[in-house]
Amino acid sequence: MEIPLDHQEVELLAIGAGPANLALAVALEELSPEIAANSLIVEQHDDVVWQRGMLLPWSQSQVSFLKDLVTLRNPRSEFSFVNYLHSIGRLDEFINLGTFTPYRLEISDYLQWVARSLKSVRVEHGRRVVAVEPREDVAGEVTSWLVRFADGGSAGARSIVVGAGREAHVPAEFLNLPREKVIHSTEFLQRVERLDPEGAHRIVVVGGAQSAAEMLWQAHQSFPQAQVTMVMRSIGLNGYESSKFTNELFYPSFVDTFNQALPDAREQLLREMNRTNYAGLSPAMLDNLYRTIYLEKLTGTERLGMITMAEIGDARSEGDEVVLTLVDRKNGERSELRCDVVMLGTGFGKQMPLMTRNLAASVGADDFTVTRNYRMTLPATVSARVYLQGVNESTHGIADSLISVLAIRSGEIVGDLLADRVPAARPRQDVELLDVVASA
């Protein structure tokens, strides 16, 4: 196996400098300084940004600031969101704001602050992972991984933590459209800036949840001459299910309940919790959209529209236009909707990310799951470890992809690392003394 000149060896390598792996870095520094000193986070971008494609200036998190990277595990930690606010002189203002849900911009800034504040765990930017390969010892056991980067460098690690999230879901109907005509929510801000702000665009937003609604609202506000239409499968927009009873299902302690549940019960829980995160909108967004539609009808300047109970049957290009074939779910009738650009609020793929599947396949584990402590189940011939963050909803519940469980989950992963860690070699005289005691 050829090793590039730009190569380093670490004990743990985490892929992605998002909330999941930054929480892990904090847990390593607080619970296992020895591993932290030999750990590396690699990030493909040149900076740390939360929800890069949807970091809208007015958007707020739906999660309490107390569910930051560390507080639920260690309320006294220097890496808490409260300490971040204090360190930049904005704690008084945040308290006076009277909210539990910060703006996304300040959560993103908090993550950057944490990354800068790490003392032992290193973060390297501009390092996109292109392959993870198993490394075997002389006996044929996979004892570590070789991670290759797009810049030609590489790193070896006994433990890999994948925290890069799921891949964007682009429905098959849109795959053959010109790239410039399709904008997924994960790249919304970067791509929408290329549109003429004074253009009379015809924009169609596909989807009926929060990300689709936010794109709809931002497009409507940013392009005053545009016609913006939302197409959704549901009968109308719904609010998040956010009762205090339902929110108990996002407790880190509920992970055990979900993990131990029977398969049918897991499916029911995932199905019924869908509206708590994926199929609903915030009350403020619902109110904004409804009032805007009402006022536009009142003034005769209707630019914001919604088409409900409709499927996208087909999408094709005709010159500079995109032609969508809509199928009415009520009666099966088909119609055409022409537009200039399509914005997709279609979420993320349900299957494991391609990198993870390829990694598992490289050691003969085409079918795999994860343990309660998030370690990928691999063949007995593999002692090297792989941990998965944010993609384990089927085994750990819907909160696995959210901020709610980060603090506790990172502590559980560090605990698993420590439990399975090979002890440092002991002096020979200590070994002999212990052997005598054991045989007495």
For every one of its 440 residues, what pLDDT tens digit does the chain have, with 9 covering 90 and above?
A: 566 668 999 999 999 999 999 999 999 999 999 999 999 999 999 999 999 999 999 999 989 999 999 999 999 999 999 999 999 999 999 999 999 999 999 999 999 999 999 999 999 999 999 999 999 999 999 999 999 999 999 999 999 999 988 899 999 999 999 999 999 999 999 999 999 999 999 999 999 999 999 999 999 999 999 999 999 999 999 888 778 888 888 889 999 999 999 999 999 988 888 777 777 888 889 999 999 999 999 999 999 999 999 999 999 999 999 999 999 999 999 999 999 999 999 999 888 999 999 999 999 998 899 999 999 999 999 999 999 999 999 999 989 988 999 999 999 999 999 997 755 444 444 434 334 333 33
Same domain, 379 and 306: no
Within 13 A of 11's CA, how many CA atoms are on the CB side? Answer: 17
Query: Could you tell me if 395 and 369 are in contact, meaning their C-beta atoms sit under 8 angstroms apart?
Result: yes
The β-bridge partners of 20 are none
Distance CA 300, CA 302 (A): 6
φ, ψ at 265 (rounded to 5°): -70, -40
Same domain, 335 and 358: no
Is residue 270 one of the residues assigned to a domain? no
Tell me the CATH number at 109.
3.50.50.60
Same domain, 139 and 182: no
Is residue 109 one of the residues assigned to a domain? yes
Domain edge (last residue) among 310, 344, 378: 344
Distance CA 94, CA 80 (A): 14
Distance CA 403, CA 380 (A): 33
Residue 2 has a pLDDT of 61
Tokens read off for 258: 């979900």
Same domain, 209 and 234: yes
Same domain, 155 and 184: no
Is residue 206 one of the residues assigned to a domain? yes
Same domain, 221 and 82: no
Same domain, 391 and 302: no
Residue 246 has a pLDDT of 84
Is residue 378 one of the residues assigned to a domain? yes
Is residue 325 one of the residues assigned to a domain? yes
Same domain, 217 and 326: yes
**Counting Cβ atoms within 10 Å, is residue 74 exposed (0-12), middle (13-18) or buried (19+)?**
middle
Same domain, 412 and 360: yes
**Which long-range contacts does 312-317 make (Cβ < 8 Å, 24+ apart)?**
312/171, 312/173, 312/174, 312/206, 312/231, 313/173, 314/173, 315/173, 315/174, 315/176, 315/177, 315/342, 316/176, 316/177, 317/177, 317/178, 317/181
Question: Which residues form the domain of 226?
Answer: 172-240+277-344
Same domain, 118 and 104: yes
Same domain, 191 and 324: yes
Q: Taking phi first (over 0 means left), then psi (-120 to 50 degrees means alpha), and beta for anything else, what does residue 167 get?
A: beta
The total domain count for the chain is 2
Same domain, 287 and 394: no
Residue 275 has a pLDDT of 72
